Amino acid sequence: MAISNKKKLEAEISEAFIKFQRDLIGRGPQEAKTYIVGDMVICRFKGVLTVEERHLSSHDKGRRIVKEMREVLREMYSEESEEIVEKHTGCKVLSSHSDISTKMGERIEVYVLDKDLEKMLA
């Protein structure tokens, strides 16, 4: 039972982020997977780059521009993304971290919570 609750919550968080990114950028990732590990929520988004970003990423300067632009966007909307995690988990987000790979076209988000959510769901 606990495993299905965890899987269900992970799927709900993934879906919420797909919708959020669609509303924000006009398209969501091709694939989203969320993992609850201890006091962390880890989200992995595949296929996040737009066609233009993929073209830019074929050059060094373009890669830097894409990473910088995505970092700025992440900073602008960090409150909203943390609210998604808080709303679904019932935990407070203490910190969040993000990085994007222009090579793989994927982004990782890590949210550190005030409680061991995995233990709570067990």
pLDDT tens per residue across span 29-46: 999 999 999 999 999 999
pLDDT in tens, 94-113: 999 999 999 999 999 999 99
Q: Report the alpha-carbon distance of residue 55 to residue 86 in Å, rounded.
A: 35
d(C-alpha 7, C-alpha 99), whole Å: 24
Condensed to tens digits (0 to 9), the pLDDT of residues 67-93 reads: 999 999 899 999 999 999 999 999 999
Evaluate whether 27 touches 50 at the Cβ level (below 8 Å). Answer: yes
Q: In degrees rounded to 5, what are phi and psi of residue 77?
A: -115, 20
The whole-number pLDDT of residue 26 equals 82
The pTM of the full predicted model, rounded to 2 decimals, is 0.91
Three-class secondary structure of residue 77 per DSSP: coil
Determine the Cα–Cα distance for residues 77 and 71; give it in Å rounded to an integer.
Answer: 10
Which tokens in the block code for residue 74? 């992440």
Look-up of token digits 């982004």: 107
Matching residue, tokens 């300067």:
61
Maximum CA extent, the chain: 49
